[in-house]
Amino acid sequence: MKTISAFCAAMCLAFAAHPSDSESTGGKGTPGGSGPRARAKWHPGHYMLVANQHDQSMFDSIFASEEFQGVQARYYWSELEPEKDAYDFSKIESDLAYLEKRGKRLFVQLMYRGSIRDGAYPVPSYILKDPEYHGGVEMYKGDKPGCLPRLWDPAVNERICELVRRLGARFDAEPYFEGVNFPESAVSIDRSTARGFSNKAHAEGVKSILSAARTAFPETVVIQYVNWMSGDAMKDLVDFLYRNGLGMGGPDIRPDEVQREGEKRVASYFYYEAYAGKMPLAAAAQTPEFSYHGNRQKKGQAGPFTPEQIYAMGMATLNLNYFFWMQVGGPPAYICSFDDIIAFVKSRKGSVHSAIPKNLVRGFEGEGRRDEDR
């Protein structure tokens, strides 16, 4: 059986930029002027985050707000490829058209992992049933049902890469298709029993998918969520992102100032500071950040956090280009409503770190990218 390393080498991108003719833009969509030109679409700013079971009417609340660039929406692999090689991108197409008519952009979060609800898996059924994929997934530890596909299995990995290639062929040229991001790097499975798992193989599987994405989306921002990884794997992955014109993001914004004693700081936060201005940086403020009754309290962690605390962390420490704000319902379950978030972002005039990152400037060559990244 070929290894993921060999597979990654075979599929790895040739980093030849296909620059867009459009002007680079700042945080509010204004032309970038005479400064450096981005080789990709570049519309940093604030985006509403919605779950996969969303209704387009949710988007309406940001249409009157010039401070919001658009929407980040989640789409599961199982929805996009309900049967092997039978792709259905109609939901993305519909959401994109709905937003584009109103001058807003779409950032796609491609969910190949996640919760299992009412027997529905985030992966297509053929991954679970066809013998060549050996069951295809590993179940999450703990009480919450969910699964991670075996990214380290070349057969499973190739199916995700093919989905990415199909998405790129359809959406890379769409001007209002701003970006695509992949779910968190943390491994929530029993590593001791997972079929064929090793930390190195998992990391190589993640990089293989990212290589396919960079090739498939030469004019689109591509971001990998990075939060926790073992050993030197995180350092290596972040370096890979930088050298290959990709970006880093994360599923949580946890303000340092209100962390409880003994609570671990998200491991990837160090790299935001180190790579500020060098590659696209993004992070999401999700339901637990705002909830009075979420997982954060069950784990004895600080929260909920106010929009002011989240924004301060994102700007001063994480140096974010993209903020993804969860569409929350408001009190009594949450500390604020999404209308409150809109008002807060408006009070800050939609400001983010909007300068084009070094690795998105036309002509960037990866500063001596290592052979294994080519």
Quote the pTM value: 0.89
Predicted pLDDT at 326: 97
Residue 204 lies in a domain: yes
Residue 125 lies in a domain: yes
Residue 150 lies in a domain: yes
Is the pLDDT higher at 253 or at 16? 253
Beta bridge partners of 361: 38
Predicted pLDDT at 264: 85
Torsion sign, CA atoms 63, 68, 69, 72:
negative
CA dist 19 and 241 (Å) reads 19
Residue 124 lies in a domain: yes
Residue 350 lies in a domain: no
Give the tens place of pLDDT for each residue, 343-353: 999 999 999 99
- Which residue segment(s) compose the domain that 121 sits in? 1-12+70-218
**Residue 25 · residue 40 · CB < 8 Å:** no
**Residue 260: Cβ within 10 Å count:** 10
Q: What percent of the chain has pLDDT over 90?
A: 76
| DSSP letters for 99-147 | HHTTT-EEEEEEESSEE-BTTB-SS-HHHHHSGGGTT-EEEBSSSS-EE
Give the confidence band of 13 by pLDDT, cuts at 50, 70, 90.
very low
Residues 6+ apart with CB under 8 A from 115: 122, 144, 145, 146
Predicted pLDDT at 20: 34
Whether the predicted pLDDT of 123 surpasses 90: yes
**CATH number, domain at 124?**
3.20.20.80
How many domains does the chain fold into? 1
Give the confidence band of 109 by pLDDT, cuts at 50, 70, 90.
very high
Residue 307 lies in a domain: no
Residue 148 lies in a domain: yes
Residue 243 lies in a domain: no
Predicted pLDDT at 233: 94
Give the tens place of pLDDT for each residue, 50-85: 998 899 999 999 999 999 999 999 999 999 999 999
Residue 265's closest CA among 308, 311, 304, 313?
313
Is the pLDDT higher at 117 or at 29? 117
Whether the predicted pLDDT of 258 surpasses 80: no
Q: Which residue has the tokens 């690795």?
A: 359
What's the whole-number mean pLDDT along residues 243-260?
A: 90
Is the pLDDT higher at 173 or at 362? 173
What's the whole-number mean pLDDT along residues 26-46?
A: 69
> Own/partner pairs for 151-155, CB < 8 Å, 24+ apart?
151/202, 151/205, 151/206, 151/208, 151/209, 152/4, 152/196, 152/197, 152/198, 152/201, 152/202, 152/204, 152/205, 153/195, 153/196, 153/205, 154/1, 154/2, 154/3, 154/4, 154/7
